[in-house]
A and B are shown apart, each in its own frame.
Chain A
C-alpha cells in the first residue's frame, strides 16, 4: 500500500488535541449543597445502570478520534496494489451507418458505447484502455489510456458515421496492438455477426430493429409526363410499404408495394407523374412507414438537362468536321466564321473559341480555347509551336496510359488497342508548360493535350490537321475523346451519379470560379480548393448536399443527394472475419485500488454516530 498524499497524515495531530479537550471537559463542577442524602439515596432508584450513559463521553472521544484518522486517511489517499488484477483492453467500436438504427429510444451505437463504458467501469484500476473507432475512417481515439474518467469522456464524444465501416483497417490496428502486447483483451462491439473472431471478443448489439429502404430511384421524362421508378426493401419482416413522391416539394403521387424479406432482392415500384411535372427540378421519393433507420427511407433525384447551353465560335476556313462534331452533342450553339473575318473586338462573349489552322494575335480572355493545328505561337496560350514533324510512314498516336484521375477522366471510354489507334503523317511539335496534360502523343511528342492558359481558361490543343494528315476523325476513339474534351471544356459543376456515404464527389472548378462552398445535410460548411481543374469532397452524411460555386462574381448552386451504403441498411449482416493472430498471454497487469468511497461511507457513519451520541447526551441533560 502506498499513499498519494502522505502529508495528509499531518491531520493526526488533531488526535492529541482532541484528547486534551476531552480531559479538560471531564472536569466536574463542585458545589456545596444542603444535603447529599437525597442524591445518595437516588442511586437505589436507578432502575438499571445504563452502561452507555457512563461511557458516552469516551464513546464520543473514540468516534471523534476515528473521524480524524479517517479524514487524514482520505486526504492521504491510500493506494492498494492488486497483483495481476488489471487488464489491457483494446475496444473496437463499430461506428458505421447501421449503428444508427434505433429501438426504444436508443441506437445501436449508444448501446455499444454503454457496453464499453460498463467494461471500463467494471475493470480494475490500473487497467489500460485503447479505443479504435471504425467509421468512415478508422481512427484510434486513444491508446493505453489509464484514466477511467477520461476514457469514458472521450468515448462519449465519439459519434457514429453514416458510411460503411472499414473493418479491415481496424483489424490491422487490433493485430498491431495484440502483437505488441498479447495479453490485451480485444473487444469488438458491432452489429454484425462474425463467425471467425480468434482472440477477439465480439459483442453484437443488434436488437429487433426493422428497416425499410428505397434505392435505385430513376426518372424518365416524356411528353406525357414523368415516370419515377425504384426499388423498395424490407430487411426485417415482410411489409406493405407506401411511397410518396414529392415534385419540387409538393406531394404529387404515391405508390404501394408488398415487400418480402429476400436477401438482396427488392420490390420494384413505378410512379407516374402528369405532364405538369415535366420541368421539375427535384423529385423526392419517400417511404411513408417509420422504421429504425430513417436515413435510407428517402431519395432525391435532380433534373439537370435543362441547365445552360454553350455558345461556340468556330474560326475555320474548312469547318466541316468540327461543325459536324459539335452538332453531335446537344446544347451547343455554334457560329462559324472564316479566319480572315475574325476580329477579337467583334467576336467576344463565347464560351468556346475554336481556332482551326489559325492562330489569333492574342488569346481570347473570356472563354475556353481550342487550337486545331496551331500555325504560330500565341502569347498566353501556355505552349509554344515548334517545327512541323513530317513522316512518310504513318505514325501511331499513343494514348496516355497514366492512372491519374485527370487522365482517366479525359480518356474515359477510349480504347488503347493497337488496331483502333489513329495514325498521322504530320504534326506540330509543341512544347508545353506545366498546366497541360498530354492525352495523346506521337513519337513522344504531345499531339493532343489539355490544360489552362494564362487567363485560367480551359484549353485543348490538337497539334495536327484534322482534315489532311491523319485518320483520327475516322477512328473509334474520335467521338469519344471529343465528347470527353467538350465535357472538359464545358464542365458541369458536379457530375451526375449515385453517391453513397464515403464516396468522393468530384467538383469541377469552372472557368472564373473563385470559390466553391459545400453545405452538408447537417449544415456543416466547407470551402474547397479551386487551384486545380477539379477538386474532390468526401461525403460523410446521408442527405442533400448543396455545392455553390462563385463564378465571375455570380453564384451557381447544384444539389447532390448522398445515400446510405447498401450494406449498412441490413438489420442483420454478416461480417467476414475479425481475428488477431498469435498466442494470447495470460500475464495480467497489476491493478490498483484507490477508491475513497468506502472511507467516505465509514466517515459518514462515524459522523452520524457521533452526532447521535451528542444528541443522546443533550437529551440526558435536558
Chain B
C-alpha cells in the first residue's frame, strides 16, 4: 500500500524538503537539528571567559587584543531528533469508501521518510482500543526506513481509538523532536490530554485530522438511519433536510475549530486533510505554509 501511494518520484521530490522543529532538540546523538546546548557545530553562538582546561583553539585572539582578557568562542550543538508518529487505526478511520486510512498511512510514511532523510530517528505507532502498538520503532537511515515501512501495509483498522489512553502511559521522550498524531478526531475530547502530555514533554506536537469528503460535505438526504461503525449502539435517525445539513456543517466547523484552537493554545500545529486530497497539495503547500516543512 505504501509503495502504491508513495512512489519514487514523489519521494525524490519531498527529499528536498526539511522538517523544522520548533523547540531546540535535546537529543543524545548528533544530528542535523540545532540544540539548546553548546557544541561543536560551525554556527557561532556566544563568548565566555576562558577557564583553565578549555580548548585553547577556541580562544578569540582578536578579542584578547582589544580587551586584554581571554575569551573562548562558544558554538551551537546539533543533535539528532526522534520523530514519533501515532496513527489512529480505529474502525472509523478505515470504514467505507472514504480512504481515510490510505491518506493517514501516506502522510505517516512521507513524514517518516522526511525525518530519516534528516538523519533523525523515527518511530511509528498504531493506536487501537487505547493501546499503543509498535509498527516501526527506531528507524534510522533510509535503509532502515525502507526495510521497516512496509509494515504499514499490515495494519488492520479496527476497534476504537482512545488516543489519550494509549499515549499517556507510553514513552514519549523529552524535548527530542516531533510527535505527530494522525486521526479523524471524531470524539469529544479524547485527544486533549495526550496533546497536553506531549507538550509538557517539550515535544513539537502536530495533529493531522483526516476526514472523508462525505464527512465534510454529506450527500445523504431524506429519511436516514445511521449506525456508528465502531459502536452499533450509537445511532442517528432523522429526516435529513436542508436545516440539518446546515447544522451538520456547523458541527464540522465546531469540531475542527476546537482542535485548531486547542493546538494553537499549546503551541502545537494542526492540519485538516480531506481523505482524497493530493499528497503534493498537503506537503508542498499546506505543511510548507504552516512552517512545518521548508
Contact B184 A35 (CB under 8 A): yes
Q: Is the interface of A mostly helix, strand, loop or mixed?
A: mixed
Measured in the bound complex, the distance between the Cα atoms of B238 and A28 in whole Å is 8
A621 to B237, CA, bound (A): 15
Instruction: Tell me, in angstroms, the Cα distance from A38 to B234 when the chains sit together.
Output: 12
Q: B241: CB under 8 A from chain A?
A: yes
Binds B, one of A44-52, A167-175, A449-457: A44-52
* A30 contacts chain B at the CB level, 8 A cutoff: yes
Measured between beta carbons, the chain B residues less than 8 angstroms from A29 are 222-225
**How many A-B contacts at CB < 8 Å in the complex?**
111
Chain B residues contacting A83 (CB-CB under 8 Å) are: none
Q: Kindly state the separation between the CA atoms of A38 and B215 in the bound complex, as whole angstroms.
A: 8
| Neighbouring B residues of A31 by C-beta, 8 Å | 220, 224-227
B70 within 8 Å of A (CB atoms): no
Against B, the Cβ 8 Å flags (1 = close, 0 = not) of A21-60 are: 0000011111111111111111111110010010001000
Given contacts A26-B223, A29-B222, contact A37 B242 (CB under 8 A): no
For A620, the chain B residues whose CB sits under 8 A away are 241-243
A365 to chain B, nearest CB (A): 108
Interface centre among B232, B242, B251 (most CB of A within 10 A): B251
The minimal Cβ–Cβ distance linking A581 to chain B, given in whole angstroms, is 78
A40 and B255 CA atoms in complex are apart in Å by 12
Chain A residues near B187: list those with CB within 8 A: 37
Query: B69: CB under 8 A from chain A?
Result: no
Task: Give the Cβ gap from A58 to chain B, nearest Cβ, in Å.
Answer: 12
Contact at A32–B229, with CB atoms within 8 Å?
yes
Please give the number of chain B residues whose Cβ is less than 8 angstroms from any Cβ of chain A in the complex: 44
A320 within 8 A of B: no
Q: Does B17 interact with chain A (Cβ within 8 Å)?
A: no
A38/B225 in contact, CB under 8 A: no
A622 at interface by CB-CB < 8 Å: yes
Does the CB pair B242–A619 fall under 8 Å? yes
Q: Tell me if A42 and B100 are in contact (CB < 8 A).
A: no
Give CA–CA (A37, B91) in the complex, Å: 14
Give the chain B neighbours of A33 by CB distance below 8 A: 95-96, 226-229
* Set of chain B residues within 8 Å of A43, measured between Cβ atoms: 247
Asked if B242 and A36 make an inter-chain contact with CB atoms under 8 angstroms apart, the answer reads no
A32 CB, nearest partner CB in chain B, Å = 5
Cβ < 8 Å to A, chain B residues 184-212: 184, 186-188, 212
B242 touches A622 (CB 8 A): yes
State in angstroms the CA–CA spacing of A31 and B223 once bound together.
11
User: B236, A50: Cβ atoms under 8 Å?
Assistant: no
- State the CA gap A26–B212 with chains docked (Å): 29
Say whether B186 contacts A32, CB under 8 Å. no
Q: Write the residues of chain B forming the contact surface with A, with a CB cutoff of 8 angstroms.
A: 91-93, 95-96, 98, 100, 184, 186-188, 212, 215, 220-230, 232, 234-244, 246-248, 250-252, 254-255
The 10 closest A-B pairs by CB, nearest first: A620-B241, A45-B247, A45-B250, A28-B225, A42-B247, A41-B251, A42-B248, A35-B186, A39-B236, A42-B251
28 A-B interface contacts by CB (under 8 A)? A27-B223, A31-B220, A32-B95, A32-B227, A32-B232, A33-B95, A33-B229, A34-B93, A34-B98, A34-B184, A35-B230, A36-B228, A37-B188, A38-B186, A38-B248, A38-B251, A39-B226, A39-B238, A40-B234, A43-B247, A45-B246, A45-B254, A46-B243, A53-B243, A620-B241, A620-B243, A621-B242, A622-B242
